[in-house]
């Protein structure tokens, strides 16, 4: 892969892609899927600003022409899953890809094409956007380029995960913190993130006497953000909005907390309009922690996950509020034998991240790995908590190397990447099988009608 100039892009697309004002004609799809798409995505990530902008526009326009369309999962959740009209329950995997994004996403799309998978989400959290150095427009370009490369067709669900309020900043200046979340949300939706998980669960105050008072700042801000998203979403698109009642790593959620949250949220949302579509799912705490809990020897502690939380809250969400159900976070490091249980208790969605990162690090060349670890010990030493061993420190902080070493990860030689990507391919195949999303093309197409939104070619 190599970076291209604007002139290179125009020369390389001659006879392959015809560029128009706001769209393209693909003249030779096979040539697009050859080296051209590899070089376009590399330029979209590492090129100069003008070439980057043109490459991103071109990838998006080619995707639309090949029926690869950014979409919202809202109708599948609020109709198909909420009404339990799907023939066999599945749990939608939402995958955070932190590094080597194009290569890793290609493995996801390989399984999707091979096994007719359409019920899956590609996502990135607010914090990850920062430390992995991947703004929304770049992340979308990677997703669409990977789909093009692997011959995928259909809706692509791209999600902003944990658009989280910082409690300290919020209670110092609520409006300023709200505006910062709005700004990120606007950037994300403009970059075709038509699925947004709002997370003011950090503002829950368990010292308050009633459940509704505890959830006050959570439901107020979830309602404000839902209304804001409805204002800015593109015509014909109902963005899927997720809420959260239990901050991951805290105490387990209860049905009573969920109902208190929903009561306040729906009251508040009605102030912005009688018929605004509300959240389509709810994230809960079941006993997990993001990335798992590393032990002093570097192993990850076993977690007691309470599936009854997902089952009971999910049932109320469907029957009472026309939602898909409950969402499980922090699950990628769970034992393999647990994943089949998520569809059994009708979990709507499951978020997966650190497990994929761990596979990448497992296969990294030792010299590159040590270069990263030495950087962590120098640059992030202030994050080394008292009592942590070196293994615990590295396990908790190595995700933050993906931004600093982004190009080095992308530029790893093919023979180094191959076993790593094979292991990831096997992992995605396993997870999709266990979560029941093989052969979901028909059910997704029944409920999701993607809208092609054309944008003008950059000057």
Record the pTM. 0.94
How confident is the model at residue 327, as a pLDDT? 95
Query: What are the b/e assignments for 187-196, b being 16+ CB within 10 Å?
Result: ebbebbbbbb
Start-end of H helices in 14-135:
29-31, 37-46, 49-65, 74-75, 101-114, 126-131
The DSSP line for 270-329 is HTT-TT----SEEEE-SS--TT--B-TTSPBPP----HHHHHHHHHHHHHHH----EEE-
2, 3, 11, 18 from 36: Cα distances, Å: 10, 11, 11, 14
How confident is the model at residue 335, as a pLDDT? 86
How confident is the model at residue 295, as a pLDDT? 52
CATH class of 68-360+409-447: alpha beta
Number of residues written out for the chain: 459
Residue with the two structure tokens 């590393």 = 294
**Spans of all domains in the chain:** 6-65, 68-360+409-447
Q: Tell which residue, 303, 356, 418, 271, has the closest CA to residue 93.
A: 356
Q: How many angstroms separate the CA atoms of 158 and 365, rounded?
A: 31
Query: What are the b/e assignments for 126-154, b being 16+ CB within 10 Å?
Result: bebbebbbbbbbbbbbbbbbbbbbbebeb
How confident is the model at residue 286, as a pLDDT? 81
Taking 70 as the pLDDT cut, the residues of the chain under it are: 247-250, 287-304
How confident is the model at residue 289, as a pLDDT? 56
Kindly report the number of other CB atoms within 10 A of residue 441's CB atom: 17
pLDDT tens across 255-302, in order?
Answer: 999 999 999 999 999 999 989 999 999 999 886 655 455 556 655 555
For residue 158, give the H/E element and its range: strand 154-164
Q: How many angstroms separate the CA atoms of 354 and 333, rounded?
A: 7
The tokens describing 235, both together, are: 């015509």
Coil vs helix vs strand at 360 = helix
How confident is the model at residue 292, as a pLDDT? 53
């Amino acid at each position: 892969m190599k970076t291209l100039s604007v002139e290179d892009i125009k020369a390389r697309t001659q006879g392959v892609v015809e560029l128009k004002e706001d769209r393209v004609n693909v003249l030779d799809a096979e040539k697009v899927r050859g080296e051209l798409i590899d070089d376009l995505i590399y330029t979209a990530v590492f090129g100069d600003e003008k070439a980057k902008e043109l490459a991103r526009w071109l990838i998006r326009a080619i995707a639309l022409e090949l029926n690869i369309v950014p979409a919202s999962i809202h109708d599948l959740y609020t109709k198909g899953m909420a009404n339990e009209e799907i023939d066999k329950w599945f749990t939608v995997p939402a995958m955070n890809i932190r590094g080597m994004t194009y290569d890793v996403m290609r493995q996801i799309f390989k399984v999707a094409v091979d096994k007719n998978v359409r019920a899956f989400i590609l996502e990135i959290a607010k914090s990850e956007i920062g430390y992995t150095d991947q703004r929304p427009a770049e992340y979308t370009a990677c997703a669409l380029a990977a789909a093009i490369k692997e011959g995928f067709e259909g809706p692509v669900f791209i999600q902003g995960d944990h658009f989280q309020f910082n409690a300290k900043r919020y209670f110092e200046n609520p409006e300023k913190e709200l505006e910062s979340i709005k700004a990120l949300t606007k950037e994300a939706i403009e970059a075709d993130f038509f699925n947004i998980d709002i997370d003011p669960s950090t503002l829950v105050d368990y010292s308050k006497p009633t459940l509704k008072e505890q959830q006050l700042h959570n439901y107020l801000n979830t309602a404000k953000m839902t209304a804001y998203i409805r204002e800015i979403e593109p015509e014909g698109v109902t963005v899927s909005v997720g809420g959260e009642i239990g901050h991951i790593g805290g105490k387990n959620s209860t049905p009573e907390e969920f109902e208190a949250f929903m009561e306040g949220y729906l009251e508040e949302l009605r102030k912005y309009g009688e018929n605004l579509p509300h959240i389509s799912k709810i994230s809960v705490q079941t006993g997990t922690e993001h990335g798992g809990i590393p032990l002093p020897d570097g192993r990850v502690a076993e977690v007691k996950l309470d599936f009854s939380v997902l089952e009971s809250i999910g049932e109320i969400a469907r029957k009472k509020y026309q939602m898909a159900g409950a969402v499980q976070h922090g699950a990628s490091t769970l034992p393999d034998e647990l994943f089949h249980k998520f569809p059994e208790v009708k979990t709507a969605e499951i978020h997966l991240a650190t497990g994929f990162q761990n596979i990448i690090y497992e296969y990294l060349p030792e010299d590159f790995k040590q270069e990263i670890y030495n950087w962590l010990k120098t640059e992030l030493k202030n994050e080394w908590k008292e009592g942590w061993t070196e293994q615990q420190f590295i396990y908790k902080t190595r995700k933050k190397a993906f931004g600093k070493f982004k190009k080095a990860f992308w530029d790893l030689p093919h023979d180094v990447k191959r076993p790593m990507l094979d292991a990831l391919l096997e992992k995605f195949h396993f997870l999709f099988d266990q979560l029941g999303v093989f052969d979901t093309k028909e059910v997704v197409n029944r409920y999701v009608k993607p809208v092609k939104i054309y944008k003008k070619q950059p000057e």
